[in-house]
Amino acid sequence: MWHLIDEAVGRLWNNELVAFPTETVYGLGAHAAKPEAVAKIFSIKGRPAHHPLIVHIPGAEWMTQWATDIPPIAWDLATAFWPGPMTLILKKQPWVPGVVTGGQDTIGLRVPNHPVALGLLKAFASSGRPGRGGIAAPSANRFGRISPTTAADVLEELGHRISLILDGGSCAIGIESTIIDLSRGAPVILRPGALAAEQLTKVLGEFSASNASAQAPRVPGALVSHYAPHTPACLMPFEEILAYLDAHARQHCCILARTLPPVTRPAHIWHMMEAGPGAYARDLYGVLRHMDRRFPDLILIEQLPDTPEWAAVRDRVGRATAGRIPAATAIGGSDAGVVSAAVSCSRS
């Protein structure tokens, strides 16, 4: 692996893209100070040009290279949570290319906590040329799709379009970083992630979560439908899942369950998710990918607890299912229950 880091650094300097693991999800990396390299990320992902990228840096001391007017709370958060699953939005330095920031005057910065990512970032930053130590990296998936949590997922998403994927195993966290906007006065959480609310409160005091619709154009993760499987997916309470399956016996459904099904249920594919939010998050994208590969008519996801520790998972599951109401044709046409499928799904 470590000789591949040198290879990756060379490719980044050569304006090529390199996929690498982080503790959250795999990233698709480019030399962040080179607009022509960063532009490739947008074309390969099919990502709209105005969606800003996160610049990954090897340590908090690199913040001043990229950001200006850094408030004291940024240093406190960096001390508490970096390396880790936290992205800070700060005022950008004037030199930072607009292609990285989607034309905005702010920049997202993160120090990931994964040995391969940190090894790559440190080697890149100390490779002797004035690179300012930043690797721009969105999640290594096509725009709007499920983020990859293994090297094989990256291969499935983008494999034929990129020349190097560093394999660092499965991502320990499995959903994207918490994004905290410090550029507009009081801190605002733009995207919930693995950092628990009470951890954040210890450093931030009171803080607010974003109004997702107000952020929609700026934050792809805040689009209503994002992180989505190919298969239509619905979120339902357990009892509704059972009723749905009874009414649609001929459909091929996959269920992401938290409750054990009764033994008499017909043979749909039940996947029992882990009980806690951390393990659920770690497995979520992989399970959705796995289900997609079986080409079911529908993925049914059992509703999640309405407690703060489930906020990030609820956010991702909500976006994987939003706007995914199955059309009659999508779930097998003649089944008499198709209309009620649409009703059940739209209710949740």
Determine the Cα–Cα distance for residues 286 and 227; give it in Å rounded to an integer.
Answer: 12
Residues 6+ apart with CB under 8 A from 307: none
Answer yes or no whether residue 104 interacts with ligand TXA by CB under 6 A: yes
Q: How far is the CB of 103 from ligand TXA (least distance, A)?
A: 10
Which C-beta is closer to Mg ion: that of 139 or that of 177? 139
Residue 109 structure tokens: 């910065």
Answer yes or no whether residue 87 interacts with ligand TXA by CB under 6 A: yes
Classified as helix, coil or strand, 215 is helix
Which C-beta is closer to Mg ion: that of 32 or that of 338? 32
Answer yes or no whether residue 165 interacts with ligand TXA by CB under 6 A: no
Answer yes or no whether residue 302 interacts with ligand TXA by CB under 6 A: no
Q: How far is the CB of 138 from Mg ion (least distance, A)?
A: 5
- Determine the interface stretch with Mg ion among 77-85, 134-142, 231-239, 305-313 (rule: CB under 5 A): 134-142
Q: Dihedral angle at the C-alpha atoms of 323, 228, 52, 311, nearest 10 degrees? A: 80
Determine the Cα–Cα distance for residues 278 and 194; give it in Å rounded to an integer.
Answer: 8
Q: How far is the CB of 9 from ligand TXA (least distance, A)?
A: 18
Amino acid at 294: R
268 secondary structure, DSSP code: -
String of DSSP letters for 16-69:
--EEE--SSS-EEEEETT-HHHHHHHHHHHT--TTS--EEE-SSGGGHHHHEES
Answer yes or no whether residue 27 interacts with ligand TXA by CB under 6 A: yes
Amino acid at 53: L
- Determine the interface stretch with ligand TXA among 22-30, 245-253, 283-291, 318-326 (rule: CB under 6 A): 22-30
Answer yes or no whether residue 139 interacts with Mg ion by CB under 5 A: yes
Checking DSSP bridges between strand 233-236 and strand 178-181, what pairing results, if any?
A: unpaired
Checking DSSP bridges between strand 106-110 and strand 135-136, what pairing results, if any?
A: unpaired
Distances (CA, A) of 16 to 8, 29, 166, 277, 335: 9, 9, 14, 36, 49
Q: How far is the CB of 217 from ligand TXA (least distance, A)?
A: 9
Answer yes or no whether residue 221 interacts with ligand TXA by CB under 6 A: yes
Q: How far is the CB of 145 from Mg ion (least distance, A)?
A: 8
Residues 46-85 that bind Mg ion (CB under 5 A): none
Answer yes or no whether residue 149 interacts with ligand TXA by CB under 6 A: no
Q: How far is the CB of 97 from ligand TXA (least distance, A)?
A: 13
Residues 191/175, Cβ–Cβ less than 8 Å? no
- Determine the interface stretch with ligand TXA among 10-18, 45-53, 159-167, 238-246 (rule: CB under 6 A): 45-53
Which C-beta is closer to ligand TXA: that of 90 or that of 338? 90
Determine the Cα–Cα distance for residues 282 and 25; give it in Å rounded to an integer.
Answer: 10
Which C-beta is closer to ligand TXA: that of 106 or that of 321? 106
149 binds, among ligand TXA, Mg ion, none (CB under 5 to 8 A by kind): none
Q: According to CB under 6 A, which one of 58, 83, 108, 174 is a site residue for ligand TXA?
A: 108
25 binds, among Mg ion, ligand TXA, none (CB under 5 to 8 A by kind): ligand TXA
Q: How far is the CB of 148 from Mg ion (least distance, A)?
A: 10
- Determine the interface stretch with ligand TXA among 3-11, 137-145, 272-280, 288-296 (rule: CB under 6 A): 137-145
Residues 6+ apart with CB under 8 A from 317: 235, 284, 301, 304
Answer yes or no whether residue 24 interacts with Mg ion by CB under 5 A: no
Determine the Cα–Cα distance for residues 9 and 16; give it in Å rounded to an integer.
Answer: 10
130 secondary structure, DSSP code: -
Checking DSSP bridges between strand 188-191 and strand 178-181, what pairing results, if any?
A: antiparallel
Q: Which stretches of the chain bind ligand TXA, using CB under 6 A? A: 22, 24-25, 27, 51-54, 87, 89, 101, 104, 106-108, 110, 112, 137-139, 176-177, 179, 190, 218-221
Q: Which stretches of the chain bind Mg ion, using CB under 5 A? A: 139
